[in-house]
């Protein structure tokens, strides 16, 4: 469904992705693990067209994405929920969600999607007229995911959805990500520092180290891998 082929990305003269290959199949949750600065966010930004590769390609159902502007990537069915949430604090919850539907002109479909998001995150429904800036960190994360879903994506790119959240909320967010995948049929690419939780949720994963993919396996395989345990799971 989604394929990164020999993808090289530079910021100025500095190459931060050194030719990575990665594949996501329809219906999967794929996680990308790696230390700070490994290039995880850059990988997502390149898929969504916000960063252009120096060479290599991003294919989505065999058509190339890497030459398209970001809004065309959203139209193609890929939504990106960036690290740090980037919600609009002076707009209401509802207004933030509406912004996510900019690619869709079908009012009935927008309403249906919105109902689904409010089912997934009931707290957002309760606060639909509240200014987004007054939400808690966890609620803002829910809103950011909800806004991403408003474009009716086939693939959702999630960058550190658990960052800065209390453990109980992390659990809720991860359960909801699973629900979005299973009942919503949305394929998910998940970047996470919380490697154990991500691997419990994911079908497969890739390990990115300073711009190279050094390992790929099923989530179970990665959980059982002693190098992964030492580096990312706080064990040996
Ligand atoms: P983190 O979890 O800290 O976000 P990451 O694995 O997502 O880490 P990236 O944010 O993709 O890593 O960064 C990869 C490398 O590219 C890092 O060395 C980073 O300093 C550098 N980098 C990221 N964004 C830019 C930018 N806009 N300009 C220059 N260098 C950048």
| Conformation bin of residue 63: beta by default, left when phi > 0, alpha when psi is -120 to 50 | beta
Q: Are 1 and 175 in contact (CB under 8 A)?
A: no
Does ligand 1 have an atom closer than 6 angstroms to the CB of 37? yes
Same domain, 8 and 65: yes
Same domain, 105 and 41: no
* pLDDT of res. 217: 97
**Is 28 within the bounds of a domain?**
yes
Same domain, 60 and 92: no
Same domain, 118 and 133: yes
Measured from the CA of 191, which atom of ligand 1 is nearest? Answer: 7
**What's the CA dihedral at 184, 189, 192, 197 to 10 degrees?**
50
Domain enclosing residue 59, as ranges:
1-77+155-163+184-235
Nearest to 195 by CA among 22, 18, 11, 36: 36
Does ligand 1 have an atom closer than 6 angstroms to the CB of 151? no
Measured from the CA of 51, which atom of ligand 1 is nearest? Answer: 27
Same domain, 56 and 159: yes
Interior/surface letters 188-208, b for 16+ CB within 10 angstroms, e for the rest: bbbbbebbebbbebbbbbbbb
Same domain, 67 and 107: no
Tokens linked to 214 = 């050094």
> In a structure prediction context, what are the per-residue pLDDT tens digits for the chain, which is 236 residues long?
999 999 999 999 999 999 999 999 999 999 999 988 999 999 999 999 999 999 999 999 988 888 888 989 998 999 999 987 788 999 999 999 988 887 777 778 888 899 999 999 999 999 999 999 999 888 999 999 999 999 999 999 999 999 888 888 888 999 999 999 998 899 999 999 889 999 999 999 999 999 999 999 999 999 999 999 999 988 64
Q: How far apart are CA 228 and CA 5, in angstroms?
A: 24
Q: What is the ipTM of this complex?
A: 0.93
The vertex-158 CA angle with 43 and 199, nearest 5°, equals 90
The total number of structural domains in the chain stands at 2
- What pTM was estimated for this model as a whole? 0.93
């Amino acid at each position: 469904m989604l394929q990164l082929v020999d993808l090289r990305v530079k910021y100025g003269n500095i190459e931060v992705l050194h030719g990575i290959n990665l594949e996501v199949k329809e219906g999967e949750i794929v996680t990308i693990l790696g230390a700070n600065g490994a290039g995880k966010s850059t990988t997502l930004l390149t898929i969504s067209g916000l960063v252009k590769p120096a060479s290599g390609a991003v294919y989505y159902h065999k058509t190339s994405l890497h030459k398209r502007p970001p809004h065309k990537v959203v139209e193609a069915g890929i939504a990106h929920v960036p690290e740090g949430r980037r919600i609009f604090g002076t707009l209401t919850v509802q207004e933030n969600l509406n912004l996510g539907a900019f690619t869709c002109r079908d009012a009935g479909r927008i309403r249906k999607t919105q109902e689904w998001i409010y089912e997934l995150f009931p707290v957002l429904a309760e606060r639909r007229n509240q200014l987004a800036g007054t939400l808690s960190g966890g609620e803002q994360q829910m809103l950011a995911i909800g806004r991403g879903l408003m474009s009716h994506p086939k693939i959702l790119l999630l960058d550190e959805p658990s960052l800065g959240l209390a453990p109980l909320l992390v659990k809720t967010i991860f359960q909801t990500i699973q629900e979005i995948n299973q009942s919503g049929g949305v394929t998910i690419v998940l970047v996470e520092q919380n490697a154990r939780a991500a691997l419990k949720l994911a079908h497969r994963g890739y390990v990115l180290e300073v711009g190279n993919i050094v390992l790929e396996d099923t989530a179970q395989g990665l959980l059982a891998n002693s190098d992964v345990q030492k580096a990312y799971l706080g064990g040996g």
